[in-house]
Amino acid sequence: MDIDTVGSFNMSRSAFPELKAATGGGVVINISATLHYGATWFQAHASAAKAAVDSLTRSLGLEWGEFGVRVVGIAPGPIAETPGMTKLAPGDDSDAIGDLVAEVIPLGRMGTKTDIALAAVFLCSSAGGFITGETLVVDGGHWLFKPQMLPRDMVAEMSRRIEGKSRAMAPTKSKL
């Protein structure tokens, strides 16, 4: 909490006077994560801290907008060759971990530092100029991932069968 939440608050508050005075305002980018969007095993401490950073981003985005200062966030997913990934897989072969992680990312790969940098450029540019109080998820769809229950080619057949059963259960006589 001290590093992620209090640190983000103190840095934002310290930068605010200069950003407010700047022509056209400025942008604060907070970095959180997606750990707290659902739940992540053994990460209660980090999840709570990152959720607080997202809340701080929303609140400051609301409060500082009138001064032309935008506050936005980036929530990275698994990013290759970062301290975060090293902490999650200490001592393991990074290629093997990357392959395992990529299996649960819909885009099929771990993110890169460049992915995060380009998201920051977007949020600071005029293309992101009407965005404040939001956190952009940059994770290749990782936090959305759920194991596929049926093979893709079985879904249409199963759907037709279930729909047929459902229609057969419809009432035959109106209660009106």
Whether 69 contacts 27, CB under 8 Å? yes
Tell me if residue 69 falls in helix, strand or coil. strand
* Percent of the chain with pLDDT strictly greater than 70: 93
* Helices 44-64 & 7-21 angle (0-180, nearest 10): 20
Q: Of 88, 89, 106, nearest to 142 (Cα)?
A: 106
pLDDT in tens, 26-51: 999 999 999 999 888 888 999 999 99
pLDDT in tens, 81-106: 888 777 766 566 666 777 888 889 99
Residue 59 has pLDDT above 70, yes or no: yes
The pairing of beta strand 135-138 with beta strand 26-31: unpaired
Topology of the domain comprising 2-145:
Rossmann fold (3.40.50)
Higher pLDDT pick, 22 / 158: 22
- Cβ within 8 Å of residue 145, ≥6 positions away: 104, 105, 106
pTM beyond 0.95: no
Confidence band (pLDDT; 50, 70, 90) for 25?
confident
